Amino acid sequence: MEWIDSHCHLDGYLRQGKLEAVLDRAAKANVTQMIAIGTELDDWTINHDLSLQYSQRISYTVGLHPCHVTESWDQQVNALEAYFDRKHKPVALGEIGLDYFHLPKNPEDAEGIKRFQQSAFERQLAIAKRLGCPVVIHSRDAYDDTIETIDASGVDWNKIVVHCFSYSSEQIKVINKRGGRASFTGIVTYKNAPKVQKAVIEQGSDVLMIETDSPYLSPEPHRGKTNEPAYVAEIGKKCALLLDEPPMELSQKLAENTRKFFSLSVPHE
């Protein structure tokens, strides 16, 4: 049984000197591959270098996360496209999108940040369209605007994954109908998350991908601890339960879905 963690953040472990141990535990948990997701200029370089160093196991993406969008967002976005000209390329653009949950308290400041997020999202989608690459979407409390913006961008929905899906089964239908997909985190293992569990069932396993989004959102039974890629198996097992599929078969399907979506090659020893 093998697992792929399709969305994690490894730069923090590296800074804390914990990365080797984290990768060892991932290998022991049969996590064969992971995708280190970019959020801002600082982690793009780290992720690039990590995926060069561990080329069999780690792939990377670059993108400006909506929670890192400030007035000067365009300086970072301007530096983004060059990564796709490098020899060692990102496998996707992301995570990008809209986050209305973490906005400033002051309404005027919040409106300003929303406008910057919108512009940064549009510009990055335009880059993704030009490159024809997969796109990792972050969307929190911003469903309608997210869908509208992607529609307007002309990006092929088949290239879209809405990560850490937190919306309803009705809302996942809309995404799936357009050709897009959602990936799921440890939230699916929580007792108080029937809405997200229903969304897993609604989408089914044909395009499903799973992710830890570590170091955040530890799945049960590790809740309360720092999350890490090794725990992705708990998410896969929970999805197998929800979908009533044997974990062994589902793990294979998830690995295939993820390799296909991000054009990853199978690692060789």
Binding site for Zn ion (CB under 5 A): 213
We find the least distance from the C-beta atom of residue 213 to Zn ion, in angstroms, to be 5
213 vs 228, beta carbon nearer Zn ion = 213
CA distance 3 to 236: 8
212 vs 240, beta carbon nearer Zn ion = 212
We find the least distance from the C-beta atom of residue 185 to Zn ion, in angstroms, to be 9
Reduce the DSSP state of residue 233 to 3 states and report it. Answer: helix
Residue identified by tokens 């280190």 is 36
Q: Among all residues, whose Cβ is closest to Zn ion? A: 213
As beta bridge partners, residue 36 has 8, 60
35 vs 240, beta carbon nearer Zn ion = 35
CA distance 221 to 257: 26
* 266: DSSP letter: P
We find the least distance from the C-beta atom of residue 94 to Zn ion, in angstroms, to be 9
Spacing of C-alpha 84 from chain mean position:
18
213 vs 234, beta carbon nearer Zn ion = 213
We find the least distance from the C-beta atom of residue 211 to Zn ion, in angstroms, to be 8
Question: Nearest Cα to 217, choosing from 244, 183, 190, 245?
Answer: 190
Question: Contact, 136 vs 176, CB < 8 A?
Answer: no
11 vs 213, beta carbon nearer Zn ion = 213
- The first and second tokens of residue 260, run together, are 């296909």
* 265: DSSP letter: P
We find the least distance from the C-beta atom of residue 102 to Zn ion, in angstroms, to be 13
Reduce the DSSP state of residue 132 to 3 states and report it. Answer: coil
